[in-house]
Amino acid sequence: MKIITKFWIGIAALILLAPLGLILPEYFKAGSAWGEWGADEMKELVGYIPQGLEKLSSLWSAPIPDYAFKGWGEKGLAHLSFAYIVSAALGILLIVLIVLLLGKALVRKEKK
């Protein structure tokens, strides 16, 4: 089996495991996944919002907030798990496209 085939099998496995970030905190009643806190959750956890986080939190809003589609938050774990998988696949696809485009641009510059 080629190394690239193994790579894509590994990526597919990671995509399918993406809902673990949703399922495990729910199972253990741990709240949000570790490190995925917004400014409001950070204030609740530590008592204040770090200055840098407060400044930057208004600059960016996620294209798929909470890795789910609008209105899916109340539909249950199965729907949210599917949304996590779609979000992971879209994110990886976007990164692959950007890397391919950058690679082609850099190769063209090198040939000139």
* pLDDT tens, position by position, 74-92: 788 888 889 889 988 999 9
- Alpha carbon distance 53, 42 (integer Å): 9
Which secondary-structure segment (H or E) carries 69? none
- Alpha carbon distance 65, 5 (integer Å): 31
- Alpha carbon distance 40, 21 (integer Å): 20
Among all chains, which residue has been given the structure tokens 């809003």?
A: 61
Q: Structural domain boundaries of the chain? A: 3-34+68-111
Average pLDDT of the chain is: 85
13-36: pLDDT as tens digits: 999 998 888 788 888 887 777 677
Return the axis-axis angle of helices 77-111 and 20-27, rounded to nearest 10°. 150
